[in-house]
Structure 1
């Protein structure tokens, strides 16, 4: 999962990829660090066309987090064709994220 720190980087990835998962976390957030590899594994297994980015709100990306109205961690945003489709905040499961991705991903990438 590539890291981004600025709004321009987020805009660029949203413009260049039809499907994007953004994880907002922090280096001292244990839950954030625990779900990051699980999200990466899920994308590698089932959603290979989806780009993944990580924003560390406790490091150099605080301004981007504030701009995106991320004030608690972790947050997962799902973007399809440049539009925010779903957002998960604090309490969610990897299964919740997987279920939210399945239908729009299948429609976008013409999967059965």
Structure 2
């Protein structure tokens, strides 16, 4: 995952119409540290066209507030420049992947 430090970086990526995943985490968040590699591995394996970004909420308050993230970890999914889904702290990786399959295939089929 690419670390994002400026709001413009993420907005430019979202405006490309590529599928985007933005993972909001915190330095002292143990759940964030456990969940991140699992999400990253599954997304890379199942959805290679996704761009993956991470926002450190304790360092980048402007980005965090822009996306109205109030708890961590939070995962935002964007398809075609729009927020498709928002996942909070407790999430099933298997269900997460299953929910993304259909929209991903519709948006990214060649």
Does TM, normalized by the shorter one, top 0.5? yes
Query: 1:94 matched to which residue of 2?
Result: 93
Alpha-carbon deviation of 1:106? 0.6
TM-score after normalising by structure 2: 0.93
Corresponding position: 1:85 with 2:84 = yes
Q: Deviations over 1:28-86 (max 9, x none)?
A: 11111111111111112110011110000012x11110111111111001100110000
Q: Using the alignment, how far apart are the partners of 2:95 and 2:11 within structure 1?
A: 25
Query: 1:27 matched to which residue of 2?
Result: 27
After superposition, where does 1:25-64 map in structure 2 within 5 Å? 25-59=25-59, 61-64=60-63
Q: Using the alignment, how far apart are the partners of 2:98 and 2:7 within structure 1?
A: 27
Query: 1:2 matched to which residue of 2?
Result: 2
SS of corresponding position for 2:15: helix
Aligned length: 110
Query: 1:105 matched to which residue of 2?
Result: 104
Unaligned runs of 5+ in 2: none
Return structure 1 stretches of 4+ with deviation > 3 angstroms: none
Unaligned runs of 5+ in 1: none
TM-score after normalising by structure 1: 0.91
Q: Using the alignment, how far apart are the partners of 2:99 and 2:2 within structure 1?
A: 22
Query: 1:73 matched to which residue of 2?
Result: 72
